[in-house]
Amino acid sequence: MVLEILLIISVLLQIVAAMVAIGLTRRTKYNLSWMLFTVALTCMAFLRLGEYFKITSLQPLRLPDEFFVWMGVVTSLCFAGGMLLVQRIFKYIYRTEHQRRISERRILNTVLRTEEKERQRFSKDLHDGLGPLLSSAKMSVSALSESYADERNREILRNASYVIDEAIRSLREISVNLSPHILKDFGLSRAVSNFIGRLPRTSVRIDFSTNLRNERFDTDVEVILYRVVCELLNNTLKHAEASQVSVSLMYADGLLRLDYRDDGCGFDPAAVTQKGMGIANIHSRVSTLNGFSRLTSKPGQGMKAVVEIQI
The pLDDT of residue 57 is 62
pLDDT digits (tens, 9 = 90+) for 234-269: 888 888 888 899 999 999 888 999 999 999 888 877
Euclidean distance between CA atoms 16 and 21, whole angstroms? 9
Q: Which residues contact 86 (CB under 8 A, 6 or more apart)?
A: 33
Between 31 and 102, the more confident residue is: 102
The pLDDT of residue 209 is 93
> Which CATH number fits the domain 181-310, given the four candidates 3.90.1150.10, 3.30.565.10, 1.10.132.20, 2.40.37.10?
3.30.565.10
pLDDT category at 1 given cuts 50, 70, 90 is low
Average pLDDT over residues 295-300: 87
Average pLDDT over residues 199-217: 86
pLDDT category at 179 given cuts 50, 70, 90 is low
Q: What are the residue ranges spanned by the domains of the chain?
A: 2-85, 110-178, 181-310
- Across 59-78, b (16+ Cβ under 10 Å) vs e yields eeeeeeeeeeeebeebbeeb
| Mean predicted lDDT score pLDDT of the chain | 80
Residues 309 and 286 sit within 8 Å (Cβ to Cβ) = yes
Q: Identify any residues that bridge with 305 across adjacent strands, giving them in sequence order.
A: 260, 295
Within 13 Å of residue 80, how many CA atoms lie on the same side as its CB? 6
| Strands across the sheet containing 303-310 | 205-210, 244-252, 255-262, 303-310, 292-297
State yes or no: pLDDT of 275 exceeds 50: no
The pLDDT of residue 148 is 62
